[in-house]
Amino acid sequence: MATMPAYLGKAADAEASVAPAVARPGNDPYRLRPLPLDDVLFYSKRIDNSRLVRAADPRARGACWNAVGAAAVLLVLLAGTLVPSLAGRLEGYKLEALKGEERRLLDERRTLELQEAELLSPDRMTRVAERQNLVAPKPGQVVHLNGAAANGDFALVK
Amino acid sequence: MLERRLKWLAGLVLIWGALIFSKLVSLQALHHRQYAELARSRQEQVIRILAPRGTILDRTGAPLAMSVPTQAVIVNPQKVPDLGVAADILSMVLAMNRAELYARLEAARESGRGYFLVKRKAAWEEAQRLRGMRFDWIEISSGNERHYPNGPLAAHILGGVDFAEKGNAGIEKSLEGDLEGKPGEERILTDVKGRGVDSVEEWEPKPGAALTLTIDERLQFVAERELAAQAEAKGAHSGSVVVMDPRNGDILAMASYPPYDPNLPPGPGDNPEARLNHATSVPFEPGSVFKVITLAAALETTRLRPETMIDCGRGSITLFGRTIHEAHGGYGVISMAQVLAHSSNVGAIKIGMTVGEARMNEYVRRFGFGEKTGIPLPAESRGRVRKLERWSKVSLPSISIGQEVSVTGLQLAQAASIVADGGLLVRPRLILKKGGQAVEAPAPVRVIQAETAIAMRQMMEGVVMPGGTGYPEARLEGYSVAGKTGSAQIFDVAAKHYTHTYNGSFIGFAPLNNPAIVVVVTLNGTHGNLGFGGRAAAPVFHTVATEALRILDVPKDLPDEPPPTQVADNSAERDDLAIADLGSPGPNILEEGEEGAPASAPEGGPTVPDFTGKSMRVVLAEAAERGLLVIPAGSGVARLQFPPAGAALRQGERIRVRFSR
């Protein structure tokens, strides 16, 4: 039969046994030498497999679901590895931004404290008081009601 | 055949796999460190975290010096690809003039500069915008800048810092170790866009310690204002005021004239004297204020007492070829207390000669002269007191009147505190708290006996009473005061003689019985009679002491309206004669007659002497000597008497004398 192995085998033999042209038998001087693989004929064989039915294999179905399950587990594992890392990174962004914001606010507070000190300087207070026609109290004129150190809170002017 | 082919295929696959595996090993194992370093260099940034310098506060917590953060924008003109674009970006972000900026950038590039300061103090938002642009030719430098929000207030105490924020004067320099912050370091992991993902603090930044001074900002302002005004009015070239609490040594104010602003760097035309602290670094001959030490030494080591009579002669004394004159004529025979009140040079010299060289030297040093007070300010002068073996024959009389010795204003304040604090020496201090922890006050050391201190206080009160050299400028309304004036002639070193310019001084404390403040005022380079201590320095004492007593809420010990006294308008002399003829004031409780007193006085009977201005001891001694009966009321110095001076005394009648401080 002209199957592939036969063909391959023939081809190998044909290659291996390449010989010079053999002289024709004496009784037919005009007969051509046979061509290589002259006696090999290919033909198409129609095979009707329409009545062929795959036999039911219950184990294959389970294997399919197993594969799906395995893939799902792999996915979960992968997500479980990547998602925390991603979440950590996102939280890291927020944290660093908050740290920067904290530093900025602390610096801003120092700047504001300086401005406050400049506004409350004795020289400026004196000039403002003079503009408002205010004078410094005399000794004993101011009575501090809370009894604490003289810090200006809750004072009574006699 | 097939098998051979399969084998070949398998071999190829294996080789390919091996190559991949070997590359993996090469990357992950052999060159791991190299690639990890490369990754770290690109992903990690090391950031230096600046630590602010410690804030300096006054005793009430008001900031006197503080550091604020700054962001400086720096550009490398050589790396800028397009100056026009750079000027556009920078001017837009930093709100600067585009044309001017472009011109400056161009000039910097042409001159080959690799560093160009665009804006020294950029806002944080501006700096962040520029950082986000990630240009390699822009650098944002973070730093701190020192500010003194009150300008020249307490500049001589605070000092200043240089461009590297290192202290170069005052407290900033002497306590640099405490004020200096230690920067920290942080490693930041960044993503491809340079955003921080994680950070690890390698070293935590340590801010400088906050220092709380003993200075009261309000009092410091008043002291500086009054000193400046009086110095300009009297033509003084320099001066100082020290206000101190004698009980614990707290320096409440220390002013120096001329002033300067530490926010401004020194300029070429500045007065170099302005940066000197005249209260601690510039000694001077104290003059008559030093008589306090002379008399204290006499009370401690001799039999002299406040009532001991001293012959002050006709106004001059010649010793060892040197003639020393009184400031205002001759006083004749007066008590030791009156020697101080009138500031008699002759009297003080005689008292000093009685003390002797060795004991005078001992007490001068006991009072802290000739050595530093230990205050934490750089360049403090110890003044100058010659060693005993180097004293000449005229040294003792000279030192007795405050010459041939040089002292600082702070040393005078320390000495006055000894008298005010009952004879105890408390070292002056400037630091109240360091980093929130209170600094312990120094332990007192006894210098003179308590009785000596009390006697000195009473004698010093006479200086501000009628007839004293400090009257009426140094008197305080509602408070008893003790003090001493000084008017030392300034020695011209080049010409080698004393000039007619003065160091006018006043040292004083109030109230008398439990002094809460000591104030020392010095004006250098005053002229004429109006440049004497009583006229130049005492008015400053009056204002500063009044304000100090108000701020400290010290209760008054005298009535608000002092007994009315009149003084002859004579700036040169203040002797008792000018006020002895005054009539008594309106009806007073002492004018009520005593029950059972005789109806009329016999003719030729004794007359009532004038006790006004004399201490109780003197009054009682004088009355006993004359055989008179005195009913004293109160304590201190005689203010009112009944019958009045000069009235005829009835037989058996007693004289009521009212004393107060």
Summarised one tens digit per residue, pLDDT across range B436-467 is 899 998 899 999 999 999 999 999 999 998 88
Q: In percent, how much of chain A has pLDDT > 90?
A: 26
- Output the pLDDT for position B197: 80
B153/A122 CB distance under 8 A: yes
User: What is the tens place of the pLDDT at every residue in B554-564?
Assistant: 988 888 755 44
Closest in B67, B147, B197 to A93, CB measured: B197
Q: What is the mean pLDDT of residues B612-637?
A: 82
The alpha carbon of residue A76 is apart from the nearest alpha carbon of chain B, in Å, by 25
pLDDT of residue B592 exceeding 80: no
CA B451, CA B65: separation in Å to the nearest integer? Answer: 44
C-alpha span between B127 and B79 (Å, rounded)? 19
- What confidence tens digit (pLDDT) does each residue in A80-110 have? 989 998 998 899 889 888 988 888 898 889 9
- Whole-angstrom Cα distance, residue B575 to residue B567? 10
Q: Are B357 and B395 a contacting pair, CB within 8 Å?
A: yes
Choose the closest CB to B52 out of A110, A123, A151: A110
Over residues B514-554, the pLDDT tens digits come to 999 999 999 998 877 777 777 889 999 999 999 999 999 89
- Tell whether A114 is within 8 A of chain B (Cβ): yes
| Integer Cα distance of B408 and B411 in angstroms | 5
pLDDT of residue B591: 29
Q: How far apart are CA B651 and CA B594, in angstroms?
A: 13
Q: Is the pLDDT confidence value at B105 over 50?
A: yes
pLDDT at position A52: 85
In chain B the domains, ranked by start, together with CATH numbers, are 47-213 (3.90.1310.10), 217-261+276-551 (3.40.710.10), 579-660 (3.30.10.20)
pLDDT attached to residue B70? 86
B338 in contact with A at a CB cutoff of 8 Å?
no
Please list every residue in chain B whose beta carbon sits closer than 8 Å to the beta carbon of residue A99: 196, 199
Confidence of residue A17 (pLDDT cuts 50, 70, 90): low
> Of A46-55, B170-179, B214-223, B389-398, which gets the smallest average pLDDT?
A46-55
Q: Is the pLDDT of residue B65 over 80?
A: yes
Task: Provide the pLDDT for residue B86.
Answer: 92
Minimum Cα–Cα distance from A116: chain B residue: B149
CB atoms within 10 A of CB A137: 12
A126 touches chain B (CB under 8 A): yes
| Tens-place pLDDT, residues B427-437 | 999 999 999 89
- The Cα–Cα gap between A85 and A88 comes to 5
Residue B430 exposed, middle or buried by CB count within 10 Å (0-12, 13-18, 19+): buried
pLDDT digits (tens, 9 = 90+) for B215-260: 999 999 999 999 999 999 999 999 999 999 999 999 999 999 999 9
If you measure CA to CA, which chain B residue comes closest to A143?
A: B553
Strand partners, B600: none
d(CA B164, CA B179): 13
Does residue B288 carry a catalytic annotation? yes
Predicted confidence at residue B584, as pLDDT, reads 30
Catalytic residue among B174, B238, B240, B288: B288
Residue of A nearest to B552 (CA): A150
Selected residue with higher pLDDT from A80 and B204: A80
Chain B positions touching A113 (Cβ under 8 A) are: 63, 66
Q: Classify strands B445-446 and B322-325 as parallel, antiparallel or unpaired.
A: unpaired
Query: Which residues in chain A are closer than 8 Å to B217, comparing Cβ atoms?
Result: 122
Could you tell me which of B474, B486, B543, B540 has the C-alpha nearest to residue B512? B474
B94 by DSSP, 3-state: which? helix
Mean pLDDT of all residues in B148-171: 92
Instruction: Compute the nearest-CA separation of A62 from chain B (Å).
Output: 32
Q: Write down the residue that tokens 């106004």 correspond to.
A: B315
Instruction: Residue count of chain A, please give it.
Output: 158
- pLDDT at position A16 is 57
Average pLDDT over residues B644-649: 78
Residues 463-492 of B with CB under 8 A from A: 477-479
HSE, side-chain direction, 13 A CA sphere, residue B311? 2
Cα→Cα distances B519→A33, A70, B40, B496, B538, Å = 144, 93, 65, 32, 10
Pairing relationship of beta strands B655-660 and B630-634 according to DSSP bridges: parallel
Q: Which residue has the higher pLDDT, B653 or B88?
A: B88
What confidence tier does B469 reach under pLDDT thresholds 50, 70, 90? confident
Residue with more model confidence, B656 or B13:
B13
User: Chain A: residue nearest B145 by CA?
Assistant: A111
Tell me, what's the pLDDT at A35? Answer: 83
- Reported as a single tens digit per residue, the pLDDT across B263-310 is 988 777 777 778 899 999 999 999 999 999 999 999 999 999 999 999
Residue A44 distance to chain B (closest CA, Å)? 26
Question: Residue A7: pLDDT band by 50, 70, 90 thresholds?
Answer: low
Helices marked H in B423-484 = 450-461
Assess whether pLDDT exceeds 70 at residue B585.
Answer: no
- Output the average pLDDT for chain B: 86
Answer whether A145's CB lies under 8 Å from A156's CB. Answer: yes
Question: Which tens digit of pLDDT belongs to each residue from B114-123?
Answer: 888 898 888 7
For residue B640, what pLDDT is reported? 78
pTM higher than the cut 0.80: no
Number of Cβ within a 10 Å radius of residue B355:
25
Among candidates B295, B634, B242, which has minimal Cα distance to B460?
B295
CA distance B483 to B512: 10
Rounded to whole angstroms, the Cα distance separating B327 from B342 reads 9
User: Could you tell me the pLDDT band of residue B596, with boundaries at 50, 70 and 90?
Assistant: very low
| Rounded Cα gap, residues B601 and A79, in angstroms | 123
Contacts of B66 in chain A (CB under 8 A): 110, 113-114, 117
B124 and A108 within 8 Å at the Cβ level: the answer is yes
Q: Which residues contact B70 (CB under 8 A, 6 or more apart)?
A: B120, B121, B122, B142, B143, B144, B145
The 10s digit of each residue's pLDDT in B386-413 is 999 999 988 999 999 998 999 999 999 9
